[in-house]
Amino acid sequence: MNTVAHRTFFKHDMPCLADERHEKRQSRKAFETEQKAKATARDRACTKTGCRWPDCPYCVRRDRQEVSHVWDKGSGGDHGNRSTADQMIRVCARIHQGPGSIHAKDRVVIPLTDRGTDGPCEFQVFDRAENRWFTVGVESAPGVLVRN
């Protein structure tokens, strides 16, 4: 208990740092959820299945879809710059996570314009046997593949 100028403050009246962190975390989470919804709407509108990965073998089976960050958020957390819709892309769960996935660093999405994933992207897969990257698709617009 502290007394300041005729007023008594109890510990429970003081702002709690944990509460402030919780509110910030909830605010960031709500923002990211909103941005994921925008990315989902964009990618559902531009592809049959909602998965932007070119000729995805898992879409044939209607695997679950997820929104992936193009750049890792990092262990320090995201402070808003990587959780915007233009830095996320909707792909199948197997393309997103697990062996041979974006998270495993075996697949990569490269935005081709300053519009990020709101514009065209290049899709690459790492071949461990040859120790190099191969382009599996290039878009001229979101969801529109350039065919050779």
Check if the beta carbon of residue 52 is closer than 8 Å to that of residue 43: yes
Give the integer Cα–Cα distance in Å for 42 and 118. Answer: 8
Query: Does any domain span residue 7?
Result: no
Tens digits of residue pLDDT in 75-113: 555 555 668 889 899 999 999 998 999 999 999 999 999
Count how many domains the chain has: 1
Q: What is the DSSP letter of 126?
A: E
Which residue carries 């081709």 as its tokens?
Answer: 112
Query: Does any domain span residue 100?
Result: yes
Tens digits of residue pLDDT in 12-54: 555 677 778 888 888 888 888 999 999 989 888 777 777 899 9
Q: Would you say the pTM of this structure is higher than 0.85?
A: no
Containing domain of residue 25, as a range? 14-145
Tens digits of residue pLDDT in 49-64: 778 999 888 877 677 8
